[in-house]
Amino acid sequence: MKVFWKKTAFSTIIALIIFSLVASNGTKNKILSQDIRNSESCILAGSLNKHQQLNQLCTSTLNHISIPTPQTNLTPILNLNLTNKERFFAAITDKLLAIPQPGTYEYILLRAYGAAFVNHNPEVQLPSKVVFSDENETKEFQFTLSMGKVNGTNNCYLQKAAADALNQAKAQVNIPLKSGYGDSDCTRTFATNLRFWRKYANNKTLARVQQGQEKKILGTVAPPGSSQHLWGLAIDLRVANEAQRQALNQNGWFRTVEYDVPHWTYIGHPLDQLDEFGFENKVIGGISYWLTPL
């Protein structure tokens, strides 16, 4: 059950590829039988949750089937008729150790904060789970990060690729930090995440979030261990005009957490590619958010 979505997304892609190859012409039977074997192995690896094997196998399978001849009606993978949810899961499937199941706390967190997982920049590190259990686990992850400083700040650090992209936006137009102080707007420790949580919420709130009864608090503060700020891929900014928003979007930064107006996430893709990953645009009070389709 844990790999249900993975299987669904991959099975859909593979089934469409196999169908299209069958339809293309009969002379490809020899290649096709090999492809089917590869595809079956690919799906099997997915069902067993073997990430390494899955990646190598599926990548080589998909690369090998290069959708060649003009007489076919094949379209590129990303234009296939997948649902937004399937596109999103296909994009993040190799990032997490296990894809959270609907109805679980992890799924709720993935829905609220999972936008960053579509980042495909090889320099960007993502956690293998959606919530860290304590300071040690957080530090263990943060220790692996290569960080860069946000220009014009005293103590604001993000993952280097995210900082570089933000600095490019800041070179186009002035974009101040929300507080102006630096570290609390940028990469945070587990302790800072916890302190903020306790300022606005408590254990009862957490229980309600986990049971799916409370959602709006997630736009004010992230539960302990779940903030995008722990990953070095989020920043709180004072964005007041269209030029600032455009500069951020052009450099891969988007508002992805519903109701959290100052909060920006580094997705690393331009605006016109967000559809491909299943993102859904929602405008609330004139603020445009790009939300996961979960």
Q: Considering only 109-117, 153-161, 236-244, 278-286, which stretch makes contact with Zn ion by CB under 5 A?
A: 236-244
Q: Which two tokens stand for residue 221?
A: 């503060």
Sketch the per residue contact string, 46 through 75, with Zn ion: x for CB under 5 A, - otherwise: ------------------------------
Cβ-based nearer residue to Zn ion, 236 or 258:
236
Cβ-based nearer residue to Zn ion, 65 or 291:
291
Residues of span 141-160 touching Zn ion by CB under 5 A: none
Residues of span 81-110 touching Zn ion by CB under 5 A: none
Q: Which of 236, 248, 278, 292 binds Zn ion (CB under 5 A)?
A: 236
Q: Which two tokens stand for residue 182?
A: 């630096």
Rounded (5°) CA angle 287-290-58: 175
CB-count exposure of residue 209 (10 Å: 0-12, 13-18, 19+) = buried
Closest contact distance (angstroms) between CB of 265 and Zn ion is 9
Closest contact distance (angstroms) between CB of 196 and Zn ion is 9
Nearest to 253 by CA among 167, 180, 188: 167
Cβ-based nearer residue to Zn ion, 13 or 186:
186
Tokens 């005009």 correspond to what residue? 241
Q: Which two tokens stand for residue 79?
A: 């234009």
CA distance 272 to 275: 7
Q: Considering only 131-139, 190-198, 232-240, 284-292, which stretch makes contact with Zn ion by CB under 5 A?
A: 232-240
Q: What is the DSSP letter of 148?
A: E
User: CA separation (Å) from 228 to 65, 89, 208, 211, 246?
Assistant: 37, 19, 21, 21, 22
263 binds Zn ion (CB under 5 A): yes
Q: What is the DSSP letter of 59?
A: H
Is residue 234 classed as helix, strand or coil in its secondary structure? strand
Cβ-based nearer residue to Zn ion, 178 or 208:
178
Residue nearest to Zn ion (CB): 263
Cβ-based nearer residue to Zn ion, 35 or 236:
236
Cβ-based nearer residue to Zn ion, 236 or 276:
236
Angle between helices 135-142 and 190-200 (to 10 degrees): 130
Q: Which two tokens stand for residue 220?
A: 């004010």
Closest contact distance (angstroms) between CB of 289 and Zn ion is 13
Q: Applying CB under 5 A, which residues contact Zn ion?
A: 236, 263
